[in-house]
Amino acid sequence: MASLRYNIRTDWLFYLLVLGYGYLVLNMTAQLWFGEGVNVFASYSNASDPAEMIVDANKVYWSKTCFLFGTILLMALNFDFRAAAGIGATFWSVSLITIFGTSPTLIAVAVLGTALVAQQVWRKSMFV
C-alpha cells in the first residue's frame, strides 16, 4: 500500500511545496483543457508583440528545464530529495524574479525553497 515517504509532521515544508506545485499544475491543466485556455508566459511577461513573447517564453522554459535537470542532478549526487527539491525550487523562483521581477507566487516559492534547504542543513541531512 502506498504511503507518504516522509513524516508529515516533521516534513510539512516539503509537502507544502508538493501541494502548491500540484495546485499550480492542476489549475493550469483545467484552464488549458476545460477553460478558455491559459497563457502561462503572460503571467511573467508583459511583452507587447509575439516575437518578444517567444523570447520570454524561452526564458521561462529555460528556468523550468534547469529546475528539473538540477533536481535530478542533485539526486544523482546523493543529495536528499527534500534538499534537491528545495534548491531546484529556489533556483526556479529566483531566476524568474531576476528575469521578470517579483510576483507573489515566485516570492512564496523562493521563501519555501530556501526554508526547505535550511531545514535540511539544520538537520544535517543534505546528503542521503
Mean per-residue pLDDT of the chain: 92
pLDDT over threshold 90, residue 27: no
Return the DSSP state at 11: -
CA distances from 3 to 8, 26, 93 (A): 11, 22, 29
The tens digit of pLDDT for each residue in 94-109 reads 999 999 999 999 999 9
Closest CA to 43 of 99, 2, 1, 3: 99
Integer Cα distance of 29 and 7 in angstroms: 29
Q: What is the pLDDT of residue 42?
A: 72
Closest CA to 47 of 37, 57, 62: 57
